[in-house]
């Protein structure tokens, strides 16, 4: 075939598109503005601890089938630690540690009922809500997740212990703003069988677990990777496009856009209102051993929503203990010191260790962590430009690793269709 294609953006979407395009015989140039690949799934070297730390810890769901297939192809399947069946470890001040744990001895729907029955302060009182929720999941939903919950009279306890936690995790938005149609779609897919509902986490930093295997495979396939190469201008010619970095310019017939939608709009002069959500990650290191009872814990009614035991996830048993506290959709106006004090206080309770004092800490706040699900008109792309940017519509899957892989693969499928038509 020997057609040239340029991919702008070297995050997971761009890397996936590069692999699939190269496999189809395209000559691929991948442009990444940063000095290294990975985008939002990137890791940094943290000199004080001499370790690699992630932009933010990532959880996966068993339903991420295309991610798993891609990782299998690049021999990186073993980099994910999967639960056997869904277990959601939770904590709150009153009940302490408890969990939503499903038994694989029962079909998933019965296992979920059984799991809710066994949660403290639930039992049979949660049953009517659970049944209404299960029935309503079969129909398309409108408005916000909160609207959906009130329409179905879902009990406040079930909303707090199940829906709110899952909604923040999956949609990175509180229930009041999160799109009900998309969240319903996630639940339908994930809650269809044990294998899909279970959770997984990377057992090494993202750069090693995910990005390096993909980058190595790209190189094996002959993809030319240009890091520190920000595309600053995209110029349309009669038959093709010229891509400008500060140093170079090259011409391509086909372009796949795998940046954020805001960069795409800037390069293509599209005017559009975009909405993103923040994620704040507070990394803490301790000299003493801090081991949480689970690799991650959802904290209910706390400022820190997820407490990740990174040392446990990465099985680094020597040296410092590393905990990362995640606050999704952080709207607070607390100072950094106040945030630190709050999560530390919560961690002391969760770990039952009142004397904890971190020797290092690092805040990583990502303002545009996710492009949130909204109803919007998709912009029409100029000819030969394929849009693979993250901009989920109402009813579609929210912004995740899986949808990045899907967008990368679907962009190349679109490219092939385009060539068949022309
Ligand atoms: C803190 C955090 C936690 C998350 N947690 C989870 C989770 O638990 N589970 C989950 O499934 N998902 C999670 N996500 C979402 C997931 O990381 C993203 O949806 C996914 O990585 C998006 O990949 P992408 O390639 O589409 O975009 P990006 O990773 O943003 O890649 C875009 C790339 O384009 C590059 N770029 C921008 N402008 C230019 C330019 N002009 N020229 C060249 N290159 C350019 C950028 O540098 C970047 O590398 C999380 C995200 C964050 C930030």
Tens-digit pLDDT profile for residues 291-313: 999 999 999 999 999 999 999 99
What is the distance between the alpha carbons of residues 137 and 395, in angstroms, rounded to a whole number?
13
390 Cα nearest atom in ligand 1? 26
Look-up: residue for tokens 């009130």? 150
- Report pLDDT for 422: 59
39 lines ligand 1 (CB under 6 A): yes
364 Cα nearest atom in ligand 1? 1
Residue 396 above 90 pLDDT? yes
- Report pLDDT for 2: 59
Give per-residue pLDDT as tens, 221-277. 999 999 999 999 999 999 999 999 999 999 999 999 999 999 999 999 999 989 999
Residue 419 above 90 pLDDT? no
- Pairing state between β 296-299 and 306-309: antiparallel
Report CA dihedral (234, 36, 392, 177) to the nearest 10 degrees.
-120
230 lines ligand 1 (CB under 6 A): yes
143: enclosing H helix or E strand:
none
Residue 1 above 70 pLDDT? no
| Cα 222 → chain centroid | 28
Mutation to probe ligand 1, out of 41, 326, 366, 372 (largest number of atoms < 8 A from CB): 41
244 lines ligand 1 (CB under 6 A): no
Ligand 1, atom 48, residue with closest C-alpha: 39
- Report pLDDT for 316: 83
Ligand 1, atom 53, residue with closest C-alpha: 369
What is the distance between the alpha carbons of residues 349 and 91, in angstroms, rounded to a whole number?
10
| Residue 415 token pair | 């490219």
Comparing 286 with 331, which gets the higher pLDDT?
Answer: 286
Q: What are phi and psi of 295, to 5 degrees?
A: -60, -25
- What number is the average pLDDT over the span 132-157? 96
402 Cα nearest atom in ligand 1? 11
Ligand 1, atom 49, residue with closest C-alpha: 39
11 lines ligand 1 (CB under 6 A): yes
Look-up: residue for tokens 């039992």? 123
- What number is the average pLDDT over the span 174-186? 96
Give the domains, in start order, of the chain with CATH numbers: 4-49+205-274+374-421 (3.50.50.60), 87-194 (no CATH), 276-371 (3.90.660.20)
What is the distance between the alpha carbons of residues 35 and 230, in angstroms, rounded to a whole number?
10
13 lines ligand 1 (CB under 6 A): yes
């Amino acid at each position: 075939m020997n057609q040239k294609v340029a991919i702008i953006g070297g995050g997971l979407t761009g890397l996936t598109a590069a692999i699939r395009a190269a496999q189809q015989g395209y000559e691929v140039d991948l442009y990444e503005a940063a000095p290294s690949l990975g985008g939002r799934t990137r890791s940094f070297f943290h000199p004080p601890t001499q370790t690699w730390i992630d932009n933010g810890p990532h959880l996966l769901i068993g339903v991420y089938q295309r991610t798993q297939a891609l990782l299998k192809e690049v021999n990186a399947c073993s980099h994910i630690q999967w639960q056997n069946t869904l277990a959601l470890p939770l904590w709150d001040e009153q009940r302490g540690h408890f969990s939503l744990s499903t038994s694989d001895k029962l079909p998933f729907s019965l296992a979920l009922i059984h799991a809710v029955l066994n949660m403290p302060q639930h039992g049979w009182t949660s049953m009517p809500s659970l049944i209404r929720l299960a029935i309503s999941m079969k129909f398309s939903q409108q408005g916000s997740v909160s609207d959906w919950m009130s329409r179905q009279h879902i009990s406040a306890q079930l909303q707090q212990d199940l829906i709110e936690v899952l909604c923040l995790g999956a949609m990175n938005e509180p229930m009041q703003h999160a799109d009900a149609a998309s969240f319903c779609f996630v639940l339908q897919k994930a809650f269809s069988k044990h294998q899909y509902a279970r959770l997984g986490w990377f057992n090494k930093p993202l750069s090693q677990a995910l990005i390096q295997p993909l980058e190595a495979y790209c190189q094996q396939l002959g993809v030319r990777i240009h890091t520190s190469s920000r595309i600053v201008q995209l110029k349309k010619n009669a038959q093709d496009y010229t891509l400008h970095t500060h140093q170079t310019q090259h011409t391509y017939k086909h372009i796949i856009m795998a940046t954020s939608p805001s960069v795409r709009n800037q390069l293509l002069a599209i005017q559009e209102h975009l909405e993103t959500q923040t994620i704040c990650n507070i990394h803490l290191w301790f000299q003493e051993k801090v081991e949480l009872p689970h690799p991650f814990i959802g904290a209910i009614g706390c400022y820190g929503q997820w407490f990740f035991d990174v040392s446990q996830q990465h099985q680094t048993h020597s040296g410092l203990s590393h905990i990362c506290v995640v606050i999704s959709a952080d709207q607070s106006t607390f100072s950094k010191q106040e945030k630190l004090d709050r999560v530390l206080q919560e961690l002391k309770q969760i770990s039952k260790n009142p004397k904890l004092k971190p020797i290092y800490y690092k805040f990583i706040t990502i303002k545009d962590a996710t492009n949130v699900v909204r109803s919007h008109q998709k912009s029409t792309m100029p000819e030969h430009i394929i849009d693979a940017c993250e901009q989920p519509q109402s009813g579609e899957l929210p912004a995740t690793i899986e949808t990045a892989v899907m967008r990368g693969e679907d962009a190349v499928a679109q490219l092939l269709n385009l060539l068949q038509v022309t």
